[in-house]
Amino acid sequence: MCLWRIYAQPRVHTPGEPKLGILHAAGLVESFLMHRRTATKVRNGRVQRKNRWTRPVNAAGPKGVAIERARPGTGYVHAVTQDEVYSFVQNLTDWPRLSVGLNKIILEGGCSGWYGYYHVGAIGLLAFYDDLTIAYAPDKKSRDRDFFDMVAVDVEYELDPLADEPKVDRVVYHLTRPMARAFMLVHVLSHELGHHLDRMTSQLRDCPHGEPFAYRYECAQAPHFWRTYLRVFGDPRKERR
């Protein structure tokens, strides 16, 4: 039975960095390890929102779809905001159909190598490293690289300092904030929506077709998601910040 579907690309692990795995990526670590604060802060005489809050996205269901935000975690930053997710999905022409059965989209805390997940009725978009980099081993094949090439992400080849001859140890992509936002909304969100559609069109309410279905949906919808992104946010290749 499909409990969650994770969108992830393995990256080179930094020594000393925690590896929390699927539990963290599925948004469950905070549930077990963190004590939630119940009181709100007051700044300049105004009561502040709590860290996790929701807003309705559409009226497809009795409660609509909520967008929630969790703390990104130490060393991580969210590549998208709740308002940006809201603006993007509202402009997807197929959103009324896609949102059926979807309860929430969560901006989750970061976890090394994980960018998104699907859990029954919920999509998670995970935080980035705060330097907005993504690194791979040089021999690692990844469909992410096609997207990075399309948006002209700067790439750096790090050499192995211990090798006798020059040898690439890591391929590091340096994204700008607009590029990271486009990556999450066009690339990752479309993949997770594919898992959700797979579940909603199955009589068993499972994800019977797994990654192949989500990948095919992601590829088929890429032009539409890209055009929608350009219309809402502009071209990330022209925003070098």
158 occurs within a structural domain: yes
> Is the predicted pLDDT of residue 240 greater than 50, yes or no?
yes
d(CA 148, CA 155): 9
Q: Which of 218, 229, 231 is nearest to 146 (CA)?
A: 218
> pLDDT tens-digit profile of 158-208?
888 887 788 888 889 999 999 999 999 999 999 999 999 888 888 666 777
Quote the number of domains for the chain.
Answer: 1
- Residue 98, token pair as written in the block: 């896609």
Which structural domain range is residue 190 located in?
4-34+46-238
Kindly state the helix (H) or strand (E) to which residue 154 belongs, with its residue range. strand 154-159
230 occurs within a structural domain: yes
200 occurs within a structural domain: yes
- Residue 208, token pair as written in the block: 């019977």
- Residue 223, token pair as written in the block: 């032009």
39 occurs within a structural domain: no
Q: Which of 189, 182, 195 is nearest to 237 (CA)?
A: 182
> Is the predicted pLDDT of residue 19 greater than 50, yes or no?
no
Cβ atoms within 10 A of the Cβ of 121, count?
A: 14
| Strands 104-108 and 66-69, bridge-based pairing | parallel
CA torsion 93-232-127-81 (nearest 10°) is: -100
Handedness of CA 78, 79, 83, 88 (dihedral sign): negative
Which one of 36-40, 56-60, 173-177 scores highest in mean pLDDT?
173-177
40 occurs within a structural domain: no
Handedness of CA 193, 145, 141, 162 (dihedral sign): negative
pTM, to two decimals: 0.72
41 occurs within a structural domain: no
pLDDT of the residue at 22: 39
Share of the chain above pLDDT 70, in %: 71
Amino acid at 31: S
223 burial type by CB count under 10 A (0-12 exposed, 13-18 middle, 19+ buried): exposed
27 occurs within a structural domain: yes
